[in-house]
Amino acid sequence: MSILEMKVPSPGESITEVEIATWLVKDGDYVQKDQPIAEVDSDKATLELPAEESGIITLKAEEGDVVQVGQVVCLIDMDAAKPEGAAPAAEAPKQEEAPKAAEPAKAEAPKPAPTAPQSYATGTPSPAAKKILDEKGIDAAQVSGSGRDGRISKSDAELAAVPAMGGSSLTATGARSTTTTKLSVLRRKIAQRLVSVKNETAMLTTFNEVDMSEIFRLRKQYKEEFAQKHGVGLGFMSFFTKAVTRALQMYPDVNASIDGDFKINYDFCDISIAVSGPKGLMVPVLRNAENMSFSSVEANIKDLAIKVRDGKITVDEMTGGTFTITNGGTFGSMLSTPIINPPQSAILGMHNIIQRPVAVDGQVVIRPMMYVAMSYDHRIIDGKESVGFLVAVKEGIDNPVEILLGGDERKGLGL
């Protein structure tokens, strides 16, 4: 018999363990080579685990188990032949066993009935309910029982609320159930990183606002021609990415990180773009964004966003990054203080666009305005650099034709 031991492959550098998020097959199923058999969560991404060979699978780990890279998680019997008609055969026993399982239940059901009235008087909790009420510090007299003869069941005790000051648990109405689920390893890692950033950096946030009028005009005027030529839409993110890369080159300390007692400056701009996916917030990276055209930025962002949504993003595609852009405006956020993505030293937060009255050349006009926020690590970035950087981003957004497109909007957009 040829048995293949499937071990957890390394998802990427520095990752030593993963969590079995979901088994896509059942124990004893026949699997085909390269068929996805499980989804595993690392601290950076959710990845699919494909079958290395065809055969009958035996699972050696449960959903939710944290396993080490290189650990055996399943066995595949490669000598086993693919069963024919397996589905109907599997269903037949269930239909035959159902009546058998029901018969003992019917026979046993009447047994407790005679003793129930004697064991539980009206308003008396069952032993399990009494234990729960005692733990909550709730008097049984304050709880209405839904069981036979008004006795208090376990579910009644679980739903009973602890009385507020001078209040009563009887004032609560409607369902009051709770659900407890274990955080995925990805969510736990994100939580750890966010807390460590708050505790280990001197994080400050500076704000400004940008006028989106010119970008609205450019998108309206060239969106169809741009899409026909480049195969992607002309979005807001390409303008912000180009504005950020220009500002990073003007203020190199923003494009830096701290390593112990040393500062590391990068002569390239790897821009992390925050993308919301089914498993949480992912930050895929645009490598050397300073050399990308508008169409290249849009195409790469679209490709990475699709991979995040489909769970196909790799750890390598999210590793690194020298600066992050996050867009809370897609969810309606007006203003926020984004948290730095370590080991980076700064992050730019975009927000929703609202038509607001603003003063232009002494006149009040209505313009599409957006608040922008830049959080930064004050240990490495001074106030002068942070404010100057955000002003440089504002310049690029307020006047994209001159600042970002070199004065020729058609040529700058690659048209």
Dump the DSSP string for 278-338: TTEEE--EETTGGG--HHHHHHHHHHHHHHHHHT---SGGGS--SEEEEEGGGGT-S---P
C-alpha distance from residue 322 to each of 241, 287, 336, 340 (Å): 13, 10, 21, 11
Which listed residue (65, 134, 378, 408) is catalytic? 378
230 catalytically annotated: no
DSSP string, 114-148: TTHHHH--TTPBPHHHHHHHHHHT--GGGS---SG
Cα-Cα-Cα-Cα dihedral of 129, 132, 133, 136, to 10°? -170
Q: Which two tokens stand for residue 381?
A: 């970035």
Which of 121, 38, 29 shows the shortest CA–CA distance to 76? 29
Contacts of 265 (CB under 8 A, 6+ apart): 252, 253, 255, 256
Choose the catalytic residue: 27, 139, 382, 408.
382
Token pair for 201: 């950096």
Q: Are 353 and 212 in contact (CB under 8 A)?
A: yes
> What is the spatial distance between Cα 328 and Cα 334, in angstroms, rounded to a whole number?
8
What 3-state DSSP class applies to 241? Answer: helix
Active site residue 382: yes
The answer to whether residues 371 and 335 touch, using CB atoms and an 8 Å cutoff, is yes
- What are the beta bridge partners of residue 125? 152
In 3D space, the residue among 331, 329, 347, 328 whose CA is nearest the CA of residue 339 turns out to be 347
Query: What residues are labeled active site?
Result: 378, 382
